Structure 1
């Protein structure tokens, strides 16, 4: 493959390409690439690829020319694990699935889901006691999986599916990432991780297909996402999704919301606790509700909470995303052939001082548009953009705001001395640990 006049990133190894540099230095490697140009050639093992560092070109890739790109090689590795759901599928099939799923995320539906978010958050807050040390990342994972499950399934059998999701999804998320990043033969080795993953997937498969069968039999809109997925026909064919398609989308929604929202809420409490002035300002905002249950109509009043959420998503985004051209693309004057791997780093974009001044400072006020202009298009992409933008982005933002405000109205979460929190990077930014002590608030 010819890459005329495209600079090559430093740190290429024989045969292994830039993979060792990517895995050893991660943030440092991807953040350094902008110094070499808007497009930089890298080698993923023997596979040549482009890294895009310019917001304008990333906006072109995701939005303007979005249809000229499919999901890349990293998502190929995830497909056997997660199925062919909306986050991984391509082309006309993806467009069809997104069209069928869009009504489930209409604003009127999210208003109903907000009541579930509020109830689950109150349940979690009510289970704690003053002085208790809580592993906040684990608690937020339980909240996010429960919310995802209850908005997906509303029947009695659905309760069993939610319980199984809380049991099995942490295993699926952890071991699925290991599988996706490992050589294919590793999945067949008789090791504990493979055994745990296979059992978890088998349990989820059984209970989710049982719930799907129940939904098919009932044929009614129960106000949950599953019943809408089962009932919505394709406008071209008149046919609804198959059971396998519904299953793939359910697993996609459970794993995606479970991980993304959990991480964002965990880092929210970590950052608020580290900045007392921000915490006081946040408390002033959430105390206006007097501790009553929050609703969807309250979200516009949670303006500062939303700014903190946006800053969390800027500060702790996914590390690397990949696309693959499905036709020739002119990207910044360079003609990129079909089936070429193209990647970009949301983390590098979100920490580029050209677009986010003093990027390692946690500053929610950078999102006060009355004082600070927004970054350029393509420089802030916590949910990606264009036709592949996360379909549940508004759902996620509502859950983050309602959950954190509900818990924060009752408790302060205080870091445990001597237990430093570091960032562990796989595909996303995980806390190495996040123990926090629960302290009663007096309003």
Structure 2
């Protein structure tokens, strides 16, 4: 009998077999984005069974199937990660802490002196909000990248740091967007620290953050089957775990016109109202009420109040992949804007 993958407790004959944990571990350690993409490129169907540690999951790689899971019938699938929005009282304190931590990232910057922005943003520590729940299967992967810390905290820190680094790269590459962001923070903040009451008025800053997260979301998304379903020709029972990449959905031209273009205004209310629930999953789930949004908005506004970052010439930017995709070494020149 050919080697057959186990799917929801049953054996299905599949000549490709199942990808065992040793192969997965090596692939994730090297190039997880490339690995997941290769599952579709090497003749495998859009759903591939594989092991992560002892757990069997199904990698969903075909864009139409990713769309089916996240958009077409989301009631059949459950997001495993959930984050509690902060209370009004917590929001005030969290915002102050985020602003203080963001200011600390630039304490050693000098006008006109090149800085490695990626390394600077890597010093950002997320505001402590207690335990962060992430899917148990993702935890197995995160333990490889964050062996000395809580995987949930490590994953959040990696996302925040990478998003901040990409933000300065995208703004420097789009001077008009950078000028609009600076004009907004100058008008709303007038040089003072960000407070919780300022955040709703930083509308364009929030759009910039949203667009960066659309282009550079988390690496992997997990869903659990809650109703029997047939996906890519494979019957899946409740409890089956799915592993997806949000990149293909975030760059779907039917959802996002000119998807490769950096366009913060696509997040204006009149332009994004048509997006169905599940079309935007930068954290692995759709929750625009979590403090992650406020934390990123506050950090960007805090740094932009005082600094403008200019690109340097002659160096090709490369992306590194672990939990997220991040610029490897983003060398830029800071210019002071205020005091």
- Work out whether the TM-score is over 0.5: yes
- Pairing partner for 1:366 from 266, 288, 311: 266
Give 2:136's aligned residue. none
Against the structure 1 CA distance between its residues 106 and 253, is the aligned structure 2 distance closer, same or farther, given a 3 Å change threshold? farther
Where do residues 235-274 of structure 1 align in structure 2 (5 Å cutoff)?
251-252=150-151, 254-274=153-173
SS at match of 1:311: helix
- Pairing partner for 2:96 from 115, 119, 128: 115
Contact 2:194 2:302 in 1 (8 A): yes
Q: Does 1:57 align with 2:69?
A: yes
- Aligned counterparts of 2:289 and 2:266: Cα–Cα separation in 1: 20
Against the structure 1 CA distance between its residues 402 and 50, is the aligned structure 2 distance closer, same or farther, given a 3 Å change threshold? closer
Contact 1:421 1:433 in 2 (8 A): yes
Where do residues 166-177 of structure 1 align in structure 2 (5 Å cutoff)?
none
Contact 2:71 2:276 in 1 (8 A): no
Shift of 1:109: 0.9
What per-residue deviation string (whole Å, max 9, x for no partner) do you get for residues 28-52 of structure 1? 9649959x9xx82224379673516
Give 1:148's aligned residue. 127
State the TM-score, normalized to the length of structure 2: 0.74
- Aligned counterparts of 2:163 and 2:50: Cα–Cα separation in 1: 29
What per-residue deviation string (whole Å, max 9, x for no partner) do you get for residues 398-419 of structure 1? 1111111111111111223223
Give 1:168's aligned residue. none
Against the structure 1 CA distance between its residues 13 and 417, is the aligned structure 2 distance closer, same or farther, given a 3 Å change threshold? farther
Q: Does 1:44 align with 2:50?
A: yes
Q: Which moved more, 1:335-344 or 1:432-441?
A: 335-344
- Aligned counterparts of 1:393 and 1:300: Cα–Cα separation in 2: 12
Contact 2:95 2:294 in 1 (8 A): yes
Give 1:191's aligned residue. none
Runs (5+) with no aligned partner, structure 1:
71-86, 88-97, 153-175, 182-196, 205-250
Give 1:352's aligned residue. 252
- Pairing partner for 1:418 from 287, 299, 314: 314
Against the structure 1 CA distance between its residues 371 and 326, is the aligned structure 2 distance closer, same or farther, given a 3 Å change threshold? closer
Shift of 1:24: 6.2
Shift of 1:305: 0.5
Shift of 1:324: 4.8
- Pairing partner for 2:181 from 264, 282, 285: 282
Contact 2:163 2:212 in 1 (8 A): yes
- Aligned counterparts of 1:28 and 1:371: Cα–Cα separation in 2: 34
State the TM-score, normalized to the length of structure 1: 0.58
Give 1:135's aligned residue. 116
Cα RMSD (Å): 4.1
Shift of 1:2: 8.8
- Pairing partner for 2:201 from 290, 293, 301: 301
Q: Does 1:375 align with 2:275?
A: yes
Give 1:169's aligned residue. none
- Pairing partner for 1:430 from 307, 312, 326: 326
More helix by share: 1
SS at match of 1:255: helix
Shift of 1:13: 8.7
Runs (5+) with no aligned partner, structure 2:
131-139
- Aligned counterparts of 2:144 and 2:249: Cα–Cα separation in 1: 24
Where do residues 218-233 of structure 1 align in structure 2 (5 Å cutoff)?
none
SS at match of 2:46: strand
What per-residue deviation string (whole Å, max 9, x for no partner) do you get for residues 274-311 of structure 1? 11111111111111121111101001111100000000
SS at match of 1:138: helix
More strand by share: 2
Give 1:180's aligned residue. 144
Give 2:137's aligned residue. none
- Aligned counterparts of 1:21 and 1:124: Cα–Cα separation in 2: 33
SS at match of 1:379: coil
